[in-house]
Amino acid sequence: MSFGGYSGQAYSPAGDKSRFVLPPLFRKAVKESSEGRVLCLAKHERWNCLVGFGLSRKAELEVQLDREEERALRLGRDDFDRDLRANQLFGFVEIPFDESGRFVMPDHLRSLGRVEDGLYFQGAGRFFTIWNPEELAAMGSEWESAQAACENLVSEAKAKKK
């Protein structure tokens, strides 16, 4: 089966022992992309959230790095630092998860992503974003659809918990 990308939305409340659960929709896609149970996580370069993807994206990141360097050269930008950009692109953490999707998020990623009581997952094609719902709520109106989905999923999770 070929990897079809990440789409959809999901919410996962924080579990015990600093564990989180990769929701089934995203778990299936990560397994397809990684040919196993390896989740790659990093801080998003502009937003207060994390990005997640599977191992198949490694090759794509190398192509992206080459493309960015070529563009910088074509535009005469001498400020492009290939080594710095490579560190930014490949600075993700590979995290194993069990068959149920449980994984332990490293403390530094929890801090960078401002993670607290739960995770909102938003598909973005080649990757997905992982948000603290409060951080997503603080984004602008261009995030209206994701904000509404997140609010609904958080409300559903709270209702189940009661």
pLDDT at 134: 95
- Give the whole-angstrom CA distance, residue 105 versus residue 96: 10
- Asked whether residue 4 is assigned to any structural domain, the reply reads no
pLDDT at residue 3 greater than cutoff 80: no
Does residue 109 lie within any of the structural domains?
A: yes
Identify the pLDDT of residue 15. Answer: 81
How far CA 114 is from CA of 96, 100, 101, 129, 162, in Å, comes to: 21, 24, 21, 13, 25
Answer with the residue of higher pLDDT: 60 or 150. Answer: 150
pTM for the structure as a whole: 0.88
**Residue ranges making up the domain that contains 148:** 9-56+91-161
Could you tell me the pLDDT band of residue 4, with boundaries at 50, 70 and 90? confident
Structural domains in the chain (count): 1
* Cβ-based neighbour number of residue 18 at 10 Å: 13
The three-state secondary structure class of 16 is: helix
In a domain, 61, yes or no: no
Tens digits of residue pLDDT in 12-71 = 998 877 789 999 989 999 998 888 899 999 999 899 999 999 998 888 888 989 999 999
